[in-house]
Structure 1
Amino acid sequence: MDTGTHIVMGVALGGLATLDPAVQADPTLFNAIMVGTIAGSHAPDFDTVLKLRSNAVYLRHHRGITHSVPAVIFWGIAISSLIYAFVPSVDFMHLWLWTFLAVVLHVFVDIFNAYGTQAFRPFSDRWVAYGFINTFDPTIFGFHVIGILAWVFGAHPGFTWLIIYSILILYYIKRYMDKREIIQAVKKRFPDVHEIQTSPTMKQNKWRLAITTDNYYYVGRYDYGKLEIVDEYSRKPLPQNPLVKKAKKDKNISAFLSFSPVYRWEINYYDDYSEVRFIDLRYRTKGHYPFVAVVKIDDDLQIISSYTGWIFSEQKLQNKLLTE
């Protein structure tokens, strides 16, 4: 989820903590838990600082190890221990429990986005991305705003958030059923389908799709119960020639391939260099595929430049390749 949603979820857990008898009896513990749940609900995304190094490093590691099983345990202990150092009079076990729950909730809700996480590391490096909740979901965020306002105006925080989270559980079930409907529609149209990547938009009834069949990749949308295919590409194996082998060793290309589950490729030859390009098919926006990885290689198989990331025009991409 986006940063704003994670933060309001931290506030919500702080409110739910008021149902804990130990928290009810100790205002200092409540304040400590509120700090812990807000910090814990954002902590796994501290890896955003990796963007300062490069897009390749960020892409390879974001939502990776910081969302893994060991990291979830670490964040809960580290944050609650830091808070406890300033307020040693509070009950550490309750402080840790609610902080740990905030971290777990962060990772849990992230697996429902199209981006996903490596939540099962170190047991599996597989990206878990169920793809039926948008990274920013107005319904989820809106219910949290309603809960915060109700709390501000005097509603009991524990029961308020208990009701709201009960509604949101039903909402998640509803979105899961929406995705099941889409999967059934795609399988009916394409009996040879291998994989279906769903990317919900911020609008309830509009979805983006990337479909893999025996011989083709199809890019489509599912709007108000109607399946529409907008692009199709032949599913060609990536050639295993020296140029491609060199390209795959590049840090930007390698990071892209470690992350993207469905993409097409292009090889373009110019007078004094060749270009290998990979295009992720999940994020088509206004006829454009903004998530790419590109490498330029000279005739001696030396990498000239490369780039991976989100780019919305060819001119900007070429400018990036000049500076990377």
Structure 2
Amino acid sequence: MDTATHIAMGIALGGIATADPAIAENPVLFSAVMIGTIVGSHAPDFDTVLKLKSNAVYLRHHRGITHSIPLVLFWGWFISSLIYLAIPNLSYGPIYRWTALAVVIHVFVDIFNAYGTQALRPFSNRWIALGFINTFDPVIFTAHIIGFVLWGIGLNPTIVFLSIYAILVLYYIKRYLQKKAMVKKLTLYYGDVEGVYASPTINQNIWRLAITTNDSFYVARAIDGNIQIVHKFDRVPLPNNRLIATAKTDKNVAAFLSFSSVYRYEITEYDRYTEVRFIDLRYRAKDHYPFVAVVNISENLDILSSFTGWVFSEDKLQDKLLIEE
């Protein structure tokens, strides 16, 4: 989920915590728990600072180790311990329990969107991305805003937010069934479907789809359940040669390949170098595929420049790949 929704969930969880009389009747303890749930609801995304190092490092680690089982346990303990040390003479147990729950909920809700997490590390490095809730879902966010308004006018926050979450469970089921119906339709139509990557949009009735069959990649949109094929690409295996072997050693390409599950490639020869471009088909914006990895390799198989990340124009991409004459 996006940062705003994670924080909203943290505030809501702090409201639910008032079901404990010890928290409801102690303003200082309530404040400590609220701080814990707000910070805990965002803590796993502290890895966004990795962007300061490079896109490759960020891509390899965002929603990876910071969302893993060991780090989930660590965040709950670390944040609640800091709060306990900063605000003495409070019971540690409630602070820890609610802070830890906020961290767990953060990781849990992240598995439902298209990006996903490596929540099962260290037992598995597999990305878990169920792909039926948008990273920012206006229904979920608006439900929280309504909850805050009802809390503000004096309604019991525990009852308010537990009721809202009961409704949201039904909403999640509805979105899951929508995705399941689309996947079933595609499987029946193509027959040889190996995978369907679904990415919901903010619009409830529009989905982005990337479909893998035995010999093709399809990029599609589903509008009101009607599936429209936008692009079709032949599914060509990567060549087993020295050029591709060199490309795979580049940190940007390696990060891209570790994350992308549906991509095509292009090899373009120029006078002084060869460009190898990997294009993720899961993300499409106005007939452009912005998430790429590109590496320029000399005739002697030296890496001249490379890039991975989101770019929305060829000019900007070439600026990042500028090769000195």
Q: Supply the distance in 1 between the matched residues of 2:320 and 2:136 (Cα, whole angstroms).
A: 28
Q: Supply the distance in 2 between the matched residues of 1:90 and 1:49 (Cα, whole angstroms).
A: 32
Q: Give 1:68 shift.
A: 0.2
Q: Give 1:236 shift.
A: 0.6
Q: Supply the distance in 2 between the matched residues of 1:60 and 1:218 (Cα, whole angstroms).
A: 26
C-alpha distance after superposition, 1:108-141 (max 9, x if no partner) = 0000110000000000000000000000000000
Residue 216 (structure 1) aligns with = 216
Residue 187 (structure 1) aligns with = 187
AA paired with 2:283? Y
Q: Give 1:235 shift.
A: 0.6
Q: Supply the distance in 1 between the matched residues of 2:323 and 2:25 (Cα, whole angstroms).
A: 59
C-alpha distance after superposition, 1:214-258 (max 9, x if no partner) = 100000011001011110111111001111000000000000000
Q: Supply the distance in 2 between the matched residues of 1:323 and 1:140 (Cα, whole angstroms).
A: 46
> What is the TM-score of this pair, normalised by structure 1?
0.99
Give yes or no for contact 2:304–2:323 (8 Å, CA) kept in 1: no
**Which piece of structure 1 moves more, 27-36 or 247-256?**
27-36
Residue 39 (structure 1) aligns with = 39
1:1-324 alignment, distance < 5 Å: 1-322=1-322
> What is the TM-score of this pair, normalised by structure 2?
0.98
Q: Give 1:323 shift.
A: 7.9
Q: Give 1:149 shift.
A: 1.4
AA paired with 2:85? A
Q: Supply the distance in 1 between the matched residues of 2:120 and 2:26 (Cα, whole angstroms).
A: 36
Q: Give 1:24 shift.
A: 2.2
AA paired with 1:133? I
Q: Supply the distance in 1 between the matched residues of 2:60 and 2:304 (Cα, whole angstroms).
A: 22
Structure 2 segments unaligned to the other structure (5+ residues)? none
Give yes or no for contact 2:60–2:258 (8 Å, CA) kept in 1: yes
Q: Supply the distance in 2 between the matched residues of 1:111 and 1:120 (Cα, whole angstroms).
A: 11
What number of residue pairs does the alignment pair up? 324
Note the aligned Cα RMSD (angstroms).
1.0
**Which piece of structure 1 moves more, 130-139 or 85-94?**
85-94
AA paired with 2:220? G
**Secondary structure of the corresponding residue to residue 275 of structure 1:** strand
